[in-house]
Structure 1
Amino acid sequence: RARESVFNIIDSRLIKSGRRWGDLSVFDAFAGTGALGIEAVSRGARTLFAAERDKAAQQCWYKNTQGLKSVSLSLYGDMLNLPKARQSVDLVLMDPPYKKGLTIPALTELEQKGWLTPDTLCVVEVEKSENNVLPDDFETLDERVYGKAKIILTVLRK
């Protein structure tokens, strides 16, 4: 339910801004088997960057993305040790393991390595009881709770 709601929220924001999925480059942070990133691609995103440290999950990611055509795909190993970005992304989908304190360091890493601009929408899922999960230089646009999950839409302050 949370995933469907996340994509409905993003769809609504795209419509309001006059943009389309085909305009977006996406970063799937803590990608796991790739479900969020693959959903973005299925809606039309043409560039997908992802980070996943677990080797078994990486193998699933490669298997799950191998059928994606005309999409630029890049997988990095450690979300907290990314390469410097050659280009910023338009959308970050972040679903870190709950209650591990990874959201602030991950958003900071994306910012410091040039993956983000103030126009990059970051959609972060945390456990609903988690608070103060954003770096100080990020602004919360929206926050919603779905079951055990809290979805936060945030951007880098201008």
Structure 2
Amino acid sequence: MPSSKPPSIHKGHKIHTGLGHLRIIGGQWRSRRLSFPDGPGLRPTPDRVRETLFNWLAPYIEGARVLDPFVGSGALYLEALSRGASMGLALDSNSAAISSLREHLGTLHCTVGKTAKDDALRYLETQPAEPFDVIFLDPPFHQNLLVPACTLLEERNWLADDAWIYTESEIAPSTLGLPGNWRLHREKKAGQVHYALWERSVIAS
């Protein structure tokens, strides 16, 4: 995210006023309940949406390298690690969100989860890229973050050849204008939130 971006009111990028709670649905930490810094506008991915997503990802998540640039509560990130992802990197510009996630990783004795307190777009643009197999993109709504993040992921080589990318958006996936080599694999809507899974293919040279 550019440094000039206004403060977010969503997914952990704000002043926290209390605690929210999440439950890990499947995998080695199944049914574990964890708290996270809460605040106005925080929108963790609901249990039923997570369950649908990880049903879609079931053949691909074990052993995958996962990236969550807007980690917020950590619900998707922790779920992926619980279900056998081999390595994960989580980013968030809010120190409380990252501190909470680090505590959870310690409590769960997880040694393969990495975190960084950083602005997602700046990190993707400036850090040395490494390929990830599964990417979770649930950025703050109405701040023009999703498409720039997708563009950086594709153009700066953050994606494995056959990567899977999950998106949450306030508008229909077909109208997002994401990279042309991403195929819309599955999509659904929960309330006002559109969520979708994309399959990447290598651009022919």
Give the TM bin, normalised by the shorter chain.
0.7 to 0.9
User: For the residues of structure 2 that align with 1:20 and 1:145, how far apart are their CA atoms?
Assistant: 22
Note if contact 1:128-1:145 (Cα within 8 Å) is conserved in structure 2: no
- Does 1:7 pair with 2:54? yes
Q: Which residue type is aligned with residue 64 of structure 2? A: L
Note if contact 1:46-1:70 (Cα within 8 Å) is conserved in structure 2: no
How far did 1:57 drift?
1.4
Paired position in structure 2 for 1:95: 138
Paired position in structure 1 for 2:102: 62
User: For the residues of structure 1 that align with 2:118 and 2:87, how far apart are their CA atoms?
Assistant: 18
How far did 1:76 drift?
4.9
Q: Give the counterpart of 2:164 among 118, 121, 124.
A: 121
Question: SS of the residue aligned with 2:121?
Answer: coil
Runs of 4+ in structure 1 off by over 6 angstroms are none
Considering only CA atoms, is the larger Rg found in Structure 1 or Structure 2? 2
Q: Give the counterpart of 1:145 among 189, 193, 200.
A: 189
User: For the residues of structure 2 that align with 1:119 and 1:152, how far apart are their CA atoms?
Assistant: 16
Q: Give the counterpart of 1:44 among 73, 80, 84.
A: 84
Q: 1:107 to 1:154 in 2, by over 3 A?
A: same
Note if contact 1:27-1:89 (Cα within 8 Å) is conserved in structure 2: yes
Note if contact 1:81-1:109 (Cα within 8 Å) is conserved in structure 2: no
How far did 1:95 drift?
0.9
- Does 1:78 pair with 2:108? no
1:82-105 alpha-carbon deviations (Å, 9 max, x no partner): 2122x3011001111122221111
Count of matched residue positions in the alignment of Structure 1 and Structure 2: 150
User: For the residues of structure 2 that align with 1:72 and 1:62, how far apart are their CA atoms?
Assistant: 9
Q: Give the counterpart of 2:153 among 105, 110, 126.
A: 110
User: For the residues of structure 2 that align with 1:69 and 1:62, how far apart are their CA atoms?
Assistant: 10
Q: TM-score, normalised by structure 2?
A: 0.65
Q: Which has the higher contact order (CA 8 A, sep 6+)?
A: 1
User: For the residues of structure 2 that align with 1:136 and 1:96, how far apart are their CA atoms?
Assistant: 17
Paired position in structure 2 for 1:31: 71
In structure 1, the gaps of 5 or more residues are none
How far did 1:131 drift?
5.9
Paired position in structure 1 for 2:35: none
User: For the residues of structure 2 that align with 1:20 and 1:3, how far apart are their CA atoms?
Assistant: 13
Q: Which residue type is aligned with residue 10 of structure 1? A: L
Note if contact 1:141-1:153 (Cα within 8 Å) is conserved in structure 2: yes
How far did 1:9 drift?
1.4
Question: SS of the residue aligned with 1:119?
Answer: strand
Q: TM-score, normalised by structure 1?
A: 0.82
Identity of aligned residues (%): 29
